[in-house]
Structures are given as structure tokens and as C-alpha cells.
Structure 1
Amino acid sequence: MNSITLSPSAAARVAAIAARQGKPAMLRLSVEGGGCSGFQYRFGLDEAPADDDTVAETDGVKLLVDSISLDLVQGSVVDFVESLSGSAFQVSNPNAASGCGCGSSFSV
């Protein structure tokens, strides 16, 4: 079982963004201190995995997570959701004790 999963809709979105920017289809998820609940998710395209990264792959798109962030997002699913309030990458994190209304920060 993968320790983290990239959904097909998120993989398709990463592939589209990467193609537009002429970059490899690699999405980096990291967790930083801050946000309204204590930790916040950060997303960005990356050129290559680092030595301590966990790599999950869906439809040829790679999700990169560093070893420190992985402790906080173990077992999560990264999805791309479009709704009336906008479209965004979302993390369904089973480790989060609570979240916030914006969905971009959490506490453990």
C-alpha cells in the first residue's frame, strides 16, 4: 500500500499545468508550520525527486513528499476538486485532528 496517493483528477491537472509550463509532471507536497490550524499544505511543481522523498505515481505523474512532511500526511489522498468556490488541490488527511474552512491547514 502506498503511504500517500495522487488521485487521477489531480494527476491530470498536474500533467496539464506541467505541459503548459514545459516542466516535468511532478507535484511536490510539503507541510509547513502556520495557517489557521497549525500546519499548512504547500504545493508546487518540481524538477526532480530529492534523496529523502517518497514518490507516488498515478498515470505517469509523480507526487513528491519529503520525509518530514510524510510523517504528517501518511495515508493521505491528494485530489483536485472543482467547486463553485474555486478549484484547488485538496489533501484528505486521516492524521488531521481538525482542519479549517479553507481546507489548506490542519492540526494533529
Structure 2
Amino acid sequence: MDRTPLTLSPSAAQRVATIAAKQGKPAILRLSVEGGGCSGFHYKFGLADAPEGDDLVVETDGVRLVVDPMSHEFIAGCVVDYVESLGGAAFRVENPNAAASCGCGSSFAV
């Protein structure tokens, strides 16, 4: 299996740490890819209690990003960032594997 690393930006790590602290959970962000969305696939984010056995784990500033092997195939080499703009604040995935994405930024096609 391709284990091309993922990157969790410092701003995303800081935001995960803040959210996890407020919820009393470990600072572990789970990113997965699911079918659906306007372009065929969409990203799903959530806090995790712990990595699972076969997860790819990346750490930035003490915060871990975990991804299951099936999802990793679609997002290998991506950068997970947290951006704030006039339109709001959100986690963004810069995915080099996406052939197309939609305006919402959470859906993509390969």
C-alpha cells in the first residue's frame, strides 16, 4: 500500500487542539473519504479517541491526524489546513489526487 505522507498544517493542528480541549478529548483528528458529495467523494472530519491498528498517523505540534488505509488511497500526499476567510472558517484539504472539486471545498472527484 502507498504510504505517501500527509501533512497537517500548524494552523489546523492548533484548531484541533482547541476543539479537543473544549470537548475534553485527545487531540486526534480523523479524516476519511466517503462516497457522495457534489463531485463523487467528500471529506469527513471528526475527533478520534485513538488511532486504529492500520491507520496512517501524522503528528504536528503534538496533534495527530489519522487516516484509514482505504481513505488514504484517495488523499495520499494531501495537506490538511485550517483557513479563516470572510466566508467563514473551515478545514481544507489540498489534494493533489483530485481531478476536480466543487465550490464547497469538501467534495472532489478522482
2:6 counterpart of 1:25: no
Which structure 1 residue ranges, 4+ long, deviate > 6 Å from structure 2? none
Map 1:1-108 onto structure 2 (within 5 A).
3-108=5-110
**1:31-64 deviations in whole A, cap 9, x for unaligned?**
0000000000000000000011000000000000
CA distance in 1, matches of 2:43, 2:4: 19
Partners of 1:82 and 1:88 within 8 A in 2 = yes
The number of aligned residues is 108
TM-score, normalised to structure 2's length?
0.96
TM-score, normalised to structure 1's length?
0.98
How much identity, in percent, do the aligned residues show? 69
Q: What SS does the corresponding residue of 1:90 show, helix, strand or coil?
A: strand
Partners of 1:2 and 1:56 within 8 A in 2 = no
Letter in 2 for 1:10: A
Letter in 1 for 2:38: C
1:2 positional shift: 5.7
Q: What SS does the corresponding residue of 1:9 show, helix, strand or coil?
A: helix
CA distance in 2, matches of 1:61, 1:82: 19
Letter in 2 for 1:18: A
